[in-house]
Structures are given as structure tokens and as C-alpha cells.
Structure 1
Amino acid sequence: MDRLLITGGRKLKGSIAVSGAKNSALKLMAACLLTREPLTLTNMPNLADTRFLSQLLASLGVEVYWPKGDSECRLNAAELSSTIAPYEQVRKMRASFNVLGPMLAREGHATVSLPGGCAIGARPVDLHLKAFEAMGADLKVESGYVKAAAIHGLKGATIVFPFVSVGATEHAMLAATLAKGETILENAAREPEIADLADCLNKMGAKVSGAGTSTIRIEGVESLNGTTHSVMPDRIEAGTYAMAAAAAGGDVTLEGAPVQALSAMVDALQQSGVTVDTDEGAATIRIQRNGHDLKAVNVDTQPHPGFPTDLQAQFMALMSISDGTSIIRENIFENRFMHAPELSRLGADIQVRGKEAVVKGVEKLRGAPVMATDLRASVSLVIAALAAEGETEVRRIYHLDRGFERLEEKLNGCGADIRRVSGEEE
């Protein structure tokens, strides 16, 4: 199993190109099931998660052309050979569940395994299923599978989400594109990835309006066409490298960054004393910290446009070396402080109290063996290791490979010392 060996204490200097957004790419890939014509996605991130979804789509009969290392993926779902997504495939990645809505809308039926539990909380799919029921689907949950049918097609409906859910918003939007009549999603999530999905769907002939606001309207159409769409840049990757530069110190420019989508993170970094220069026209964010101390900053994770939950672990790593005490509140997911004990192994002073973590900044972190528990937690350990004295060994980095493309290459290009090694772990 691969591990990372990171020698800390090196300032970062240079530029990093931001890859396509994982959270957007996965839902865009599922959209191929809505049309019999080819969907070509450019700026595709080469990740374990996106490659896995391509395998699942292929098992359903989708022709997938995506050469290894290529950033262009061509998906042709002219004929589906199956509408069943088995447990052995869906259990590996939660986003696989999003093939249900498109197949239900197009074929009138689908059987998809429940995604099961998650390392960062239960994250049930109840809202997804209630949305499909509102659109007229008959649903049965049996032996761990959702069996869905809409023999006469889905029908437009008004769906009011009891709380903001990115996954349910995207899934309902996908299915509603082929429903009869208008579907209105109230209390919809406003994440930039939802607007990116809507842009792609509209290029395919859908009629989606309001994406990026709390009310989304979808006027159903009889069929969708193929198109070519560029995946938006990954705001979480950009935010992660921004915090890595702030923690290690130095001068790093992020190229092709979604500047507007990162306003909450930029504000938090500036409050901490980091110099952040943004240029929305050039799509760049420059991070500078040379010698001065970091100030402690409190953050609360919130749905967009608030501080992203997917950057909470990274910010905790940064605050662990700040001057003062910061309070980080996690309002989106339960069990999302599993990185705190691992950061403590590096010398961080963190106390978790329910949804709140109290982080007392320390003068120095010191290298130690640590273990990744989930995707975002794993990269928080990399950030801490870059700022630590000595060598840190990060284990279970398959979590990292799910969401960060060429991480070592990008950071080493700015002066970091990160080596990937293979071998058995104890």
C-alpha cells in the first residue's frame, strides 16, 4: 500500500494549475445517461473516483473513451445494456448512487444499491428518494437496493427540501430534465458545481433556470442531445493548495482558480494574516506568507456561499500553528473531526466537543507517522506535514488519490519534499 514521506520546513514558491472539479465531474458523467448522443467532458480530473464511475457506466452499457492520463472523456450511452447498479460497485463510492435518477427518467425503471454508510456520517439518501416519489416514481427498498419505476414517465412537481442538500439537489435536477411539465426545487443548494451541471444540461437541450439560487426551475423536455462541456475548476483543490502555501510559507500562485467561488476561504485566510491577491479575470489566486505569525480565526462551515465543509480539515491544520485559539464549528457533516487525533500526533493542540473543535496554536509541529481517515482529512495531514519539522509518514493515501490529481507533483514543483513509497504497512 502506498505511503507519502514528507520532509517539512520548506517554503513553497511557484505556480500550481488547478484541475477540474471532482464534485462536478461525477455528476456531469452521470448526465450521459440522459441522452443517446455522445457527451464529451473536457478538463476532466484523472482521479480514482472519476475512473471508478467510468467503470460503473461502462458496466451499464455506456461506451467510454478516456485514455489514461487524458483530460478529455467521451461517454456514449446510445444503448444501455443494464439498468442495475450492484452493491459491489456502488459501495465503493457514494456518488455512484446518482445513476438512479437519470436511468429512471430515461428508461422508466432502475435498480441501484443503497450506497451504505460513510466515514463522515450517515448521509442518508432519503431526500433523493422523496424527490423521485414527488415526481411520480414508485419506489421499493428491498435487500439493500432501491427499485424504482415510472412506467409512464416522471412528472413535474414542486419539491421543498427540508434542509439544503447538494446531492439531492443535483440528483433531482438530473431526473427532472426528462419529466413531463415543470419541476421546482425549493431550498435548493447553491454550490457552484450545481450551476456547472445546469450549464451542461442546458447545452444538452434541457431547460434549467435558477441554478446557483435557492429556487431552481426545470421545464422537462422529451429528449436531450449530446454536447461538449468543460468541467469547472476545483475550488476545493484550489483552497487546499492555498492553505498549504499559507502553512508552509512562501509565494504560490494558483492558475485557473475559481476565484468567486472561494470568497469565504479567501476572507478567512486574509483574517489570519496571509496575503491573498485575487484576479478573477485572469483566474489566479496568489498566496504569500513570509515569516510573520498566523492569527487564529474562528470559522463555521455552512452551505455555499459560506465556508466549505470540504476545507474544514485543511483550515484546522493551518490553525494548529496559529498564534492564539480558534474555534471551528462543523455544521454540515457529523463525525468530520476524525483528523484531529492524527493532527495531534504531529503536536497540534486540539480538543473536540461535539460539533466544535478548539484549536490552540502551537509554535511548531513535528513529523510523525499518521493515518488518513477520509479524503479531506488525508490532505490536512499533508498540509501539517509541510509545516512540521522533520519527516512525516502519511499512511492510507488511497483516500488522497480519490480527490487530488498529481498532488506530489504539484507541490514538489513548488519546492516541497514529498515522496511516494510502496510497501506493506504494519
Structure 2
Amino acid sequence: MDSIHVTGNGPLNGEIPIAGAKNACLTLMPATLLSDEPLILTNAPRLSDIRTMSMLLESLGCEITPNADGTVQELRTAQITNHKAEYDIVRKMRASILVLGPMLARDGQATVSLPGGCAIGARPVDLHLRALEAMGAELDLRDGYVHATARGGLRGGTFEFPIVSVGATENALMAATLAKGTTVLKNAAREPEIVDLALCLSRMGAQIDGAGTDTITVQGVDRLHGATHAVVTDRIELGTYMLAPAICGGRVLLKGGRRDLVSAFCVKLEEAGIGIEETPDGLVVERKGNRVRPVNVVTEPFPGFPTDLQAQMMALLCTADGTSVLEERIFENRFMHAPELTRMGARIDVQGGTATVQGVDRLRGAPVMATDLRASVSLILAALAAEGETVVNRVYHLDRGYEQVEQKLSACGAKIERVKAA
């Protein structure tokens, strides 16, 4: 199994290009199931999760043709030839559940395994199912699969999510595009990935109002056609690499970055003493002093502080001049990176959904193990600021969400390399 070796090497300076959003692309790809015409996605990230989604869609009858470097994906599902999403593929990634709504909307039937993914809490799919039931779906859960039917097709309905759910909003939104009549989704997620999906579906002929607000209204249409759509910038990759000069010092341009994608995150960075400048080319990030100031963070649905940047922010706050408190309100069990950071000299006390971090003068290199996708990159960030060498093991998590990490960081002066398993 590959490992990442990092030696703390001082400030970072240079440019880092930001890829298309993993979470957006994984949502856009299943939209091909809604039409028999080609869906062309540009600015696609080159990640293992994208390959997993491609495998799943191909198993359902989709033909996928990538360009030479994988940044353009042409998907065409002339016919859904198989309506069962098998456990062996779905278990690898939670986003696999997003094929349920489109298959049900187009053909009135779908059987989808309950999904897997990072071990960061239960993250149940009940909200996906309840939203589809509001559109007339009949569901039967047995043998680890969701068996869904919609005799005569889905029909418009009103559903209010009891809590905000990005995935459930995406699934319901796609299903509603082909439902008969009007669907109203209340307390809907407002993330940029939702807006991006709605824009793509609209280009395919869907009639959608309110994406980006907490109420989305969809007027169902008889069919959708093909379209070309550019995947939105990855705000989580953007935030992650903004933290690199913040923790190491230096000045880095995040090419393609936009403040509106990470506004709440930017506020916390600036509170910690990090300079952020928006330019036509992207965001320029620079640490102002020798040590950052402590800040308190509470994760919330967009536009609040993203849960997917909590682990990375903790790495920064391990080096702050004082005590910070991070409260995780989205997922339980999402502080599994804390024990690994303590191996590097961090002082972290976790009590339930709250972590108290007492900043230290310097972290120390150590062998550590990645527990999930965001935890893996938080350990790399910590290693950039640590004395000596850090070896990050189980980096297959990292490859699910970040492309060319070693190349992007080493181009700015980091001493980082991947060591292939023997």
C-alpha cells in the first residue's frame, strides 16, 4: 500500500491549480441516466471516486468516453440495460446512491445497494428514500438493497427535509425533473454543488427554480436532452490548499479559486491572521505572522463552515498561539484524525462532538495513518509544518478526493513524495 513521505521544509511559494469539484462531478455523472442523449462534462477531476462512479454507470448501460487526460467525460445512456446497482461497486462510495432517483424517474424501477464510503458516522439514506416516497415511489428494503418502483412514473409532490441533506436534495432534484407535475423541496441544501447540478439539468431541459435557496421548485418535463457542462471549482480542494501557506508560511496563488465558494472558511482564516486576496486568476493566500491566532469553529451546512474542511483546519490550529475549539455538527465520529495528530505532538482533547486544541510551538514528524479522505490530507498539512519526516500510511483515501497532491505541493517548494508499495 502506498505511503506519502513529507519533510517539513519551510514556507511555500508559487501557484496551485484547483480542479473541478469531486462532489459536484459525482452528482452530475448520474444525470446521464435521465436522458438517452450524450452528457459532456468538462473540468472533471481525475480521481479514484470518479473511476468508481464510471464503473457503476457502465454496469447500468452507460457508455463513457473520456478525453486523453480525463478532464472531459462524455457519458451516454441510450438505454438503461440493468437496473441493479451491485453491492461490490456501491460499497466503495456513498455517492453511488445517487443513481437511485434518476433510474426511478426514467424507467420506474431501481434496485440499489445501501452505500459505503468513509467511516465518518452513520449518514443514513432515509431522507433520500422519504423524498422519493413523496413523489410516489414504493420502496422495499431487504437483503441490503433498496428495491424501488414507481408504477406509471413518479409524480410531483412536496417534501420538507427535517434536516439539511446535500445528497438527498441532489437525488430528489434529479428524480423530480421527470416526475409528472410540480415538486417542491423545502429546507433543501444550498451548496454550490446543488446550484451546479441544477444548472446542468436546466441545460438538459429541466425546469428548476430556487437552486441555492432553501426552497427548490421543479416542474417535471417529459424528457431531457443532451448538454455540455463545466464542473464547478472544487471548494474543498481550494480550502485545503489555502491552508498550506497558512500552516507553513509563504504566499500561494490558488488558480481558479473563488471566495464565494468558501466565504465562511475565509472569515475564519482571516480571524486567524491569514491574508486572502481575490484576483482575476484566483485567490492569493499569505500568512502574516510567525504563528496563527486561535479561532473557534462550528461546522454547518452551506453557507456555514464546511465539515469537509474541519480536519484540515484542526491541523492549522494545532500550531496556533492559544486554544481553539472545534464543534462538529454535521457528522458524528469525525475526529478520528485527532489521535494521529497527537502522535505528531498536537494537544487535542475530544469530548463527543467537540475538540479542544491547545496550540504548540512545533509539531514533530511521525508515522501516522489516514482514517478517511479529509483526515489524510490534514495529516499532510500538519507534516508540512513539522520537524523531521512524517510518513502518512493508507493514502488510498487521499486518492479518492485529491489529484496530484505531491506534484501540486512540491511545485511550491514542499518536500513530499509518494512511496509505492513493494
TM-score, shorter chain, exceeding 0.5? yes
What corresponds to 2:421 in structure 1? Answer: 423
What corresponds to 2:321 in structure 1? Answer: 323
Pairwise CA distance, 1:67: 4.3
In 2, the alpha carbon distance for the partners of 1:278 and 1:296 equals: 24
In 1, the alpha carbon distance for the partners of 2:300 and 2:199 equals: 24
In 1, the alpha carbon distance for the partners of 2:233 and 2:281 equals: 10
In 1, the alpha carbon distance for the partners of 2:409 and 2:109 equals: 46
1:255-297 CA deviation, whole Å, 9 max, x = no partner? Answer: 1013211111111111001111123xx2511111255221000
In 2, the alpha carbon distance for the partners of 1:400 and 1:375 equals: 5
TM-score by length of 2: 0.99
What corresponds to 2:157 in structure 1? Answer: 157
Instruction: Map 1:81-92 onto structure 2 (within 5 A).
Output: 81-92=81-92
Contact 1:259 1:283 in 2 (8 A): no
Pairwise CA distance, 1:13: 0.3
1:352 aligns with 2:317: no
What corresponds to 1:148 in structure 2? Answer: 148
In 2, the alpha carbon distance for the partners of 1:110 and 1:19 equals: 32
Instruction: Kindly provide the amino acid, as one letter, of the partner of residue 3 in structure 2.
Output: R
Contact 2:34 2:106 in 1 (8 A): yes
Instruction: Kindly provide the amino acid, as one letter, of the partner of residue 56 in structure 2.
Output: L
Q: Which runs of 5+ in 1 are unaligned?
A: none
Report runs of 4+ in structure 1 exceeding 4 Å deviation.
none
Residues 379 and 156 (structure 1 numbering): CA distance in 2 closer, same or farther, change over 3 Å? same
Matched residue of 2:222: which SS?
Answer: coil
In 2, the alpha carbon distance for the partners of 1:46 and 1:17 equals: 13
What corresponds to 1:248 in structure 2? Answer: 248
What corresponds to 1:372 in structure 2? Answer: 370
Instruction: Map 1:18-57 onto structure 2 (within 5 A).
Output: 18-57=18-57
Matched residue of 2:241: which SS?
Answer: helix
What corresponds to 1:295 in structure 2? Answer: 293
Matched residue of 2:387: which SS?
Answer: coil
What corresponds to 1:104 in structure 2? Answer: 104
Contact 1:253 1:284 in 2 (8 A): yes
Contact 1:110 1:149 in 2 (8 A): yes
What corresponds to 2:379 in structure 1? Answer: 381
Residues 10 and 18 (structure 1 numbering): CA distance in 2 closer, same or farther, change over 3 Å? same
Pairwise CA distance, 1:40: 0.2
1:108-156 CA deviation, whole Å, 9 max, x = no partner? Answer: 1011111157510000000000111110111111111111011200000
What corresponds to 1:263 in structure 2? Answer: 263
Instruction: Kindly provide the amino acid, as one letter, of the partner of residue 165 in structure 2.
Output: S
Instruction: Map 1:172-321 onto structure 2 (within 5 A).
Output: 172-279=172-279, 282=280, 284-289=282-287, 291-321=289-319
Question: How many aligned positions are there?
Answer: 422
In 1, the alpha carbon distance for the partners of 2:44 and 2:142 equals: 35
Contact 2:118 2:373 in 1 (8 A): no
1:316-359 CA deviation, whole Å, 9 max, x = no partner? Answer: 00000000000000000000000000000000000001110000
Residues 118 and 291 (structure 1 numbering): CA distance in 2 closer, same or farther, change over 3 Å? closer
In 1, the alpha carbon distance for the partners of 2:30 and 2:79 equals: 15
Matched residue of 2:392: which SS?
Answer: strand
In 2, the alpha carbon distance for the partners of 1:192 and 1:388 equals: 34
In 2, the alpha carbon distance for the partners of 1:295 and 1:34 equals: 49
In 1, the alpha carbon distance for the partners of 2:131 and 2:289 equals: 52
Matched residue of 2:14: which SS?
Answer: strand
What corresponds to 2:138 in structure 1? Answer: 138
- Kindly report the root-mean-square deviation, in angstroms, between the aligned alpha carbons of the 2 structures: 1.0
Contact 1:155 1:179 in 2 (8 A): yes
1:402 aligns with 2:404: no
In 1, the alpha carbon distance for the partners of 2:308 and 2:385 equals: 20
Pairwise CA distance, 1:10: 2.3
In 2, the alpha carbon distance for the partners of 1:99 and 1:291 equals: 48
Residues 147 and 78 (structure 1 numbering): CA distance in 2 closer, same or farther, change over 3 Å? same
In 1, the alpha carbon distance for the partners of 2:68 and 2:79 equals: 24
Contact 1:258 1:283 in 2 (8 A): no
Pairwise CA distance, 1:66: 1.4
Residues 43 and 203 (structure 1 numbering): CA distance in 2 closer, same or farther, change over 3 Å? same
In 1, the alpha carbon distance for the partners of 2:98 and 2:276 equals: 37
In 1, the alpha carbon distance for the partners of 2:177 and 2:337 equals: 39
In 2, the alpha carbon distance for the partners of 1:419 and 1:23 equals: 26
In 2, the alpha carbon distance for the partners of 1:259 and 1:272 equals: 17
In 1, the alpha carbon distance for the partners of 2:252 and 2:244 equals: 9
Contact 1:117 1:123 in 2 (8 A): no
Matched residue of 2:61: which SS?
Answer: coil
Pairwise CA distance, 1:80: 1.8
